[in-house]
Structure 1
Amino acid sequence: MLTKSLDRLAETIEQENAALLARDLTALSEFNRRKSQSLLEITRLIRSTNEGSLAGELTQRFAELREKLEINQDILARYMRAAQEVSEIISGAIHSANSDGTYSAPLTHAGASA
């Protein structure tokens, strides 16, 4: 049961990564819902599983899942940085458009006296 849950989560992460790399953001909320559901399911299954039975194949599956999650985290972080940069550009443009220069320091050319 736990291996099936791990497989579903891995598949969800792979699908999300593929969508993000293809710049398809239409299903992000669905991916988030599926990842949250998988996390809850896996957490419940681990709590009900004997710690000794988590060795071997499951240890490898968790390691593979961790690698997929690290890739996912990297891709999502790049999207967040890009969104932040776009936000700063838009904010600056709005500020410039709304400013009449009254409270701004005058711009002078290098070497020119004010």
Structure 2
Amino acid sequence: MKIEQPAAASIPQVIGTLPGPFQQRELARANDAVVRLAQLHGEFPWHDHDEDELFLCWDGTFRIEIEGRDPVTMVAGDVFVVPKGLRHRPVADEPAHVLLVERAETRQYGN
């Protein structure tokens, strides 16, 4: 029996299909996690999650504002995890792209 190899996801190609800021596309699943790609531009609403959320800056620059803490500035190649339960929001003055690693059931606008 031949096992088919899954297709690789091309991040640059998927970026070209994003309809606008804060619209996500699922790239891959591994175990209990999903990798999503999104464009950031402007201010996302404040929210929190019942689980950690990993941000990997693919390109551009953005900041993650966290309630009661200093913002975290992200540039291409940076990784940051927002611990569960912390109110936060990403803010990008210019378009940027981010990979998000989270549970498949994680809601974009939080719990």
- TM-score scaled by structure 1? 0.22
Whose helix proportion is higher, 1 or 2? 1
User: Which structure has the bigger radius of gyration?
Assistant: 1
Whose strand proportion is higher, 1 or 2? 2
- TM-score scaled by structure 2? 0.22
